[in-house]
A and B are shown apart, each in its own frame.
Chain A
Amino acid sequence: MSAILKAGGLSRFFGGLAAVMDLDFEVNAGEILSLIGPNGAGKTTVFNLITGTLLPTRGRLQFFEKEITGLRPHDTAALGIARTFQTTSLFPDETVLDTLIVGFRCRTRMGLWDALLKSGRARGEEEKSRRKALETLSFIGLAERASELARNIPQEAQKRLAVGLALVTEPKLLLLDEPMGGLTEEENAGMIRLIRKIRGQGISILLIEHKMKVVMKISDRIVVLNYGRKIAQGTPTEVSQNSEVIEAYLGAGYAE
C-alpha cells in the first residue's frame, strides 16, 4: 500500500508548550487510520496542521508526493483533504440540500460574470452541484430531510450532514474529528456503517475518536499520541497490548 499523506517531524508549539512534537506518520491509500490519546494529546492540532488551519512550527507534510506545508485550508480542501470539526460545525441557516450544494463549490468553475449573465456555464455548474448534492444526500441517508434547516435537524443527523459536507467536496482523504461524540450505541453503529461505506469508495480516513470499542473495531491501524508525541502505532491488537498505551490512555483494566 502506498502512503498518500506523509508527516515528517511535524511540530507545533504554543508559546513554550509543545502541542505536537516530532510526529512522523503516514496515511495509506484506502485505510482507516485512527488517532487516539488522552485529552490534550494534540490530536485536533494534528488535524489543524494537516488542513492548514495552523502552520507547523517545524516539519513537513506531503500529500500525494506534493508539499502541502503552509497551504491554507481552502487550498488543502481543493487538493482533496476534507475534515469535520469536533463541535459539529454547519451553516445553521441553510437547508440540508443547500449546505451540500455550496460544499461542492470548490469543484465548480464559474464567476461573477457568469452569475450576472446567467451564462450556460453558470447553469451547467449549478445543475452539476445540485446533482452531486442529491447524490451525497442519499449516500449519507438524509434525503428525506433535504429541505429542513441544518440547525433544526437532530444531532445525529447534523453529524451525518457534517460528514456529508466534507464528502461532497470529493476528498481523497477525510479527517473525522470525533464523529461519534454524543451519539447513542445504536447511532454509533449507523456512523460506523457510513464510515465504512466512505472507505468503500476508496477514500482514506483519518479518525479521532474516544470510543475505544469503535476504534478497535473500525481501524486498520492506530497511532497513539501522548503529550504531543507518538508513543505507539500498529494494528488495533498490537496497540491494545502495548504497555505504554495501556498506562497512558487505555487504563490498567483494558488488557483483560
Chain B
Amino acid sequence: MKSGRTSWLVAGLIALALIFPQFVTNKYYLNILIMSGIWSIVASSLNLVLGYTGQVNLAHGAFFGIGAYASALMMLKLHLNFWLALPLAAALAGFFGFLIGLPALRTRGSYFAIGTLCFNIIVTLIIDRWEGLTEGARGLMGIPGPAPIPIPWIGPIAFKTLTAQYYLVLGFLFLTLFAMKRILNSLVGRTFRAIRGNEELAEAVGIPAMRVKLLSFTTSCFFAGIGGVLYASYIGFLSPELTDYHVSFDSLVYIMIGGVGTMAGPIIGTLLFVTIPETLHVAAEYRLFVYGLILILMIIYLPRGIVGGIGSLMGKKTKGVP
C-alpha cells in the first residue's frame, strides 16, 4: 500500500521534472535547476558510501574535482569528444577512489573522515600548484560543452540551449539514481548496509568488509566524477576551489538535511540548499552561518533529515491503525 503510493509519487515527480522546461523557460530558474541536478548527482553518490555503507567520506569534493579537471583537460588538451571524456574522467575518479580507499578504508569512524579530508586538501593543493597542467589559480577556461549526438532521420541532438542542458543533466541524474537503486536493492547493497549496521558482525558472517567498502567507495567516486564532468562542461570554467573541502561539506550538508541513507534525501536537501539561497538572495557571507545553524538544529531535532522525519511520522501513523 505504502510502496504503491510512493511509486506513484515518484512517477509524478519524474513526469514533472520531464515537462518542467515546457512551462518554465526563464533562464534563471533553469540554471538553478541544472545546478541542483548536478549537485544532486554528487550528493546521491556520496550518500552511497556515507548513508548506506556508513563511511564518512570527506573527500567527495576531490573526486568531483578529479572528474571535472580530468574531463576538461581531456577535452582541451587532448581534444577528446565530451562523450568519450565523460566515462574516462568518471573512471579516473573511481580509480583514484580505489587507490585512496585502499589505505583510508582500513581506518574507521572519525579516523577515516580525517584521512579523507586530508586527501581532499592534498588534491586541491596539487591542482592549485601544478600550473603546467591545470593552469593553477587562473583556472581552466573555454571547456567545451557536449558534442551533438547525430541521430539518423531525426538529425543531431545539440546541447546549445539551456533546455537541452537541463535534459542532459536530468538524464544523468536518473541514470545515477537508477544505478543506486539497482545496487541498493541487491545482495550487494545488503552487504553495504550490513557494514553500516555492524562491521564486526558482517565480517563474522563471511562478508569481506574491506572489499565491500572499497566497492562502495569506488562506485561512489565514479558517480561523483560524472557530476564533475557535467559541471565542467556546463559552466565551461574550472578553478581549484571547486575541488576543495567546501564541496565535500556542501554535499554532506545536503544529505544530512535531506535524509541520510534515503534515496530522495540527497535530492531534497540539494534542491532546498541550491534554490532557497539563490531565490532569497541570502548574502554569501551569512551562508555558512545559516548552514551551521540549520545543521545543528537538524541534528538535534531531525537526526534522520527531512525524509527520515517524514518516514517516522508515517510509521507512527500507520502503527496506530490496527
Contact = CB atoms under 8 A, between A and B. Distances in A.
B200 interface: yes
B204 A112 contact: no
B183 A94 contact: no
Interface stretch (B6-14, B74-82, B184-192): B184-192
Contacts of B182: 115-118
A115 B189 contact: yes
A116 B179 CA distance: 6
B188 A89 contact: no
Interface in A61-82: 72-74, 77-78, 82
Contacts of A72: 203, 208
Looking at chain A's contact residues, the main secondary structure is helix
Interface in A147-188: 165-166, 168-169
Nearest to B215: A112
Given A93-B197, A116-B179, A74 B186 contact: no
Interface stretch (A27-35, A100-108, A192-200, A223-231): A100-108
A252 to B, nearest CB: 39
Interface in A212-230: none
Contacts of B203: 53, 72-74, 77
A92 interface: yes
B134 to A, nearest CB: 31
Interface in B203-230: 203-209, 215, 219
B207 A85 contact: no
Interface string A126-163: 10010000000000000000000000000000000000
A94 B52 CA distance: 12
B194 interface: yes
A110 B188 CA distance: 8
Contacts of B200: 53, 73, 85, 89
A90 B198 contact: yes
A82 B205 contact: yes
B237 to A, nearest CB: 33
A83 B200 CA distance: 11
A112 B188 CA distance: 7
A118 B204 CA distance: 27
B204 A110 contact: no
Given A115-B187, A125-B187, A105 B207 contact: yes
24 contacts: A73-B200, A73-B204, A77-B203, A77-B206, A82-B205, A83-B204, A85-B204, A89-B201, A92-B197, A94-B197, A101-B187, A102-B194, A102-B202, A102-B205, A105-B191, A106-B205, A110-B187, A115-B183, A115-B189, A116-B179, A122-B187, A126-B186, A166-B204, A169-B206
